[in-house]
Amino acid sequence: MVELDYSKLLKRVQENISSEIVTEDRFKIPTVEAFYEGNTTVIRNFDKISDAVNREPDQILKFLLSGLGTAGEREGGRVILQGKIPTKNIQDKLSDYIDIYVICSECGRPDTHLVKQGRTLLVRCDACGAIRPVRSRKRRVEKPSSLVLKEGSTYDITIKDIGKKGDGVAYLDKYIIYVPGAVKGATVKVKIEKISGTVAFGRIVSS
């Protein structure tokens, strides 16, 4: 019988355990790299984003266009959006997409794929086996504050619509704000120049 050296065996076990430890980082949402060309916004790394989340580029683009309220198209590995859309807005919508279509609700990993059961689209996790229907995360609706706009003051607003005369239209509490030259979907800082009841008129001081 071969006599085993306990200390040597213990050392070998410890070495084997340490060599098998794998550092597991949390999934990092891809960072949107965007810049402006004239009156358009270009996402230069759209192909890398779709590869990182392992989803069809056209599906991601459709979700972004709907959420940002603009038009756009793919051009090679990048996407061109109509209007000057703040990068933060795009990043927020991408985060929403990943939350809805990618991340597993049980283990929180992105190792998932989409499957269809009848008319229901499901997210199936390859890591833990969990399966869930695709649906938006319910968000708490905050009660709007009773805001009083003041002429000469500046406010950060998001342009939601375009008026008949081409002005951007934003909604802030009970007010409708018209902003010349503003693009739908853009978040801008506006100085209020005139208020008439619940209708206000302002101009962009920075974006």
CATH architecture designation of domain 154-206: Beta Barrel (2.40)
Task: Tell me which of 50 and 120 has the higher pLDDT.
Answer: 50
175 has a pLDDT exceeding 90: no
Give residue 73's pLDDT.
95
Where exactly does CATH 2.40.50.140 map onto the chain?
154-206
Mean pLDDT for the chain? 82
34-133: in CATH 3.30.70.3150: yes
- Which residue has 């759209």 as its token pair? 46
> What pLDDT does residue 53 have?
92
Domain with CATH 3.30.70.3150 in the chain: 34-133
Q: Where are the beta strands (DSSP E) in the chain?
A: 34-37, 40-43, 72-75, 78-82, 112-117, 120-125, 131-133, 154-158, 161-162, 168-172, 175-179, 187-196, 199-206
Measured between alpha carbons, how far is 33 from 79 in angstroms, rounded to an integer?
Answer: 11
User: What gap in Å lies between CA 125 and CA 156, rounded to an integer?
Assistant: 40
Q: Running DSSP on this structure, what letter comes out for residue 83?
A: S
Q: How many CB atoms lie within 10 A of CB 145?
A: 7
pTM, 2 dp: 0.56
Q: Helix or strand or coil: residue 99?
A: helix
The answer to whether residues 192 and 199 touch, using CB atoms and an 8 Å cutoff, is no
Provide the residue type at 192 as one letter: I
pLDDT value at 187 more than 60? yes
| Nearest-10 crossing angle of helices 87-101, 57-68 | 120
Pick from 59-68, 117-126, 132-141, 164-173: least confident: 132-141
Q: Which long-range contacts (CB under 8 A, 24 or more apart) does 59-65 make?
A: 59/101, 60/94, 60/97, 63/93, 63/96, 63/97, 63/101, 64/90, 64/93, 64/94, 64/97
Q: Is the pLDDT of residue 132 over 70?
A: yes
